[in-house]
Structure 1
């Protein structure tokens, strides 16, 4: 594997959860990490701001640039990506991690909430990738990695929460398209999704509460898988929709127990969109 030392990684939604874990994994390898998220000030319920994560990144051995970012704001996205590139002398990887979730069907979902999911999930992949493209073209190890699932058209994934599902699948479909479109620039475009539920604030507050967290894994498994992908030569893998555990198994990892959020033998819950 090639190293991440001095590579610049731009992560959206990086102030907590999976985004923070990816940031720290990259930092431990000596990367420059840009944390683009809305959390400038501490949240009453949720730990972590762009500034607290920037401090953790520096402590882990990386360089950090915290930037206040709302991925819905086109002008701000372009400004922040250019700012980051100018600060570190380029961008080598974009991680589309920012996400919005509401597991509700069409009948009872507010249009404003659908708009939010569309903008933070699908549209942000389009916008951030387009904005980062001029810089990624300059890198000799360019990656776009979006946190979205393999396409599974079984109707059970549409029946109860089609609006969310379609915005997450759109991220994957855009990634499939960009993998082909950007192949000529040597830019790898892939998606990554967890095999099991990941214990994050989004799960605790939006999906299932603390009892569900106990049947999940820590965000570290996604971070290690993301690091594995981002460390590879861009030419070696593109257009793939991969699962965290599969990536790590291919790297020779056989024991996943230390990734459990809570020790014990409770069965882990598979994540959405996986049979």
Structure 2
């Protein structure tokens, strides 16, 4: 029997696929899922020869940190990890990534989509190529990954969780970064819409949840801030702790929710946030609002004559 199947049979371990796991937040999510008993597939474009990285482990926010080093780090700490290279702009590669996950471990329990392209500027100063890159990685990459994963959740009797790194929907988020916001909010729309699909279809063991940081988190994206205003930063462990709490929460509490890391942890009873501060004793500035608009309407339950293009096509 192959070693991987022996591992599966012996532990019946749950499997998490973390897409965008080479650095920063994604790396931390993968490592902490492993610490909580998951076999973790770490996926991203960046690979390397992890045996030649010295000192090890590398700076988690540097170019030396790749899915290869993250997998090695997990393995050296006694966990199970596999690195799979994937460019999320290519749906064929996405399908291969999910297929390789299933071939290796035989199941998929948790999908985390952390891949993202960033460009914060006005519409005028956002070139078309940059806009297209963000839509390909952020929106299309997420949609493709979810599409590739759904058949395997179905084989698991529609039991599983999807975590999306995308924000609550509110108008201030669009300011100064419209092109970026179009993609990230689109990801949150997928969270809302897929959750509604599952509720209508009676898939009561599936949940999809979006999560976003309430305060800036130490990562490659905040490198300049880390040098100048480290007191405004929190460690990425606040984000991974919030995700672990989401995975432990009942489906009805998290399905279709657009959450913030700190606020969700507070709802689940956490009170000690000092441990997450990059600078001990500091009070990191909150970058997100305290309250968000309610996206529901009075007619929420009225579907009217709902059109289903699949059904219509079958009649043609």
Counterpart pick for 1:10 among 17, 28, 32: 17
Aligned-residue offset at 1:169: 0.6
What do residues 96-127 of structure 1 show as CA deviations (whole Å, max 9, x unaligned)? 10111111111011111111111111111111
**Structure 2: distance between partners of 1:202 and 1:5:** 37
- Secondary structure, in 3 states, of the residue corresponding to 2:211? strand
Residue of structure 1 equivalent to 2:89: 72
Aligned-residue offset at 1:138: 2.7
Is 1:173 the counterpart of 2:189? The answer is yes
TM-score normalized by the length of structure 1: 0.89
- Secondary structure, in 3 states, of the residue corresponding to 1:72? coil
TM-score normalized by the length of structure 2: 0.78
**Structure 1: distance between partners of 2:146 and 2:22:** 20
Is 1:158 the counterpart of 2:174? The answer is yes
**Structure 1: distance between partners of 2:233 and 2:126:** 27
Q: Which has the larger radius of gyration?
A: 2
- Secondary structure, in 3 states, of the residue corresponding to 2:112? strand
Aligned-residue offset at 1:214: 3.6
Residue of structure 2 equivalent to 1:199: 218
- Whether contact under 8 Å (2:226, 2:233) holds in the other structure is no
Aligned-residue offset at 1:251: 2.6
- Whether contact under 8 Å (2:274, 2:281) holds in the other structure is no
RMSD of the TM alignment (CA)?
2.2
- Whether contact under 8 Å (1:122, 1:170) holds in the other structure is yes
What do residues 190-225 of structure 1 show as CA deviations (whole Å, max 9, x unaligned)? 1011110011001226xx462144411011000011
Instruction: Work out which structure has the larger RCO, using CA pairs closer than 8 Å and 6 or more positions apart in sequence.
Output: 1
Counterpart pick for 2:117 among 72, 85, 100: 100
**Structure 1: distance between partners of 2:26 and 2:77:** 15
**Structure 2: distance between partners of 1:180 and 1:152:** 20
What do residues 13-38 of structure 1 show as CA deviations (whole Å, max 9, x unaligned)? 10111111111111011101010111
**Structure 1: distance between partners of 2:116 and 2:231:** 22
**Structure 1: distance between partners of 2:109 and 2:251:** 10
**Structure 2: distance between partners of 1:71 and 1:188:** 22
**Structure 2: distance between partners of 1:87 and 1:221:** 30
Residue of structure 2 equivalent to 1:188: 207
Q: Which residues in structure 2 correspond to 1:130-169 (within 5 Å)?
A: 130-139=147-156, 141-153=159-171, 156-169=172-185
Q: 1:272 to 1:213 in 2, by over 3 A?
A: farther
Number of aligned positions between the proteins: 267
- Whether contact under 8 Å (2:191, 2:208) holds in the other structure is yes
Q: Which residues in structure 2 correspond to 1:50-129 (within 5 Å)?
A: 50-129=67-146
Q: 1:121 to 1:271 in 2, by over 3 A?
A: farther
What do residues 61-84 of structure 1 show as CA deviations (whole Å, max 9, x unaligned)? 431110011111100000110110
- Whether contact under 8 Å (2:48, 2:69) holds in the other structure is no
Which one is further off, 255-264 or 38-47? 38-47
**Structure 2: distance between partners of 1:233 and 1:56:** 31
Q: 1:236 to 1:161 in 2, by over 3 A?
A: closer
**Structure 1: distance between partners of 2:289 and 2:184:** 10
Residue of structure 2 equivalent to 1:20: 27
Aligned-residue offset at 1:227: 1.1
Q: 1:252 to 1:176 in 2, by over 3 A?
A: same
**Structure 2: distance between partners of 1:164 and 1:198:** 18
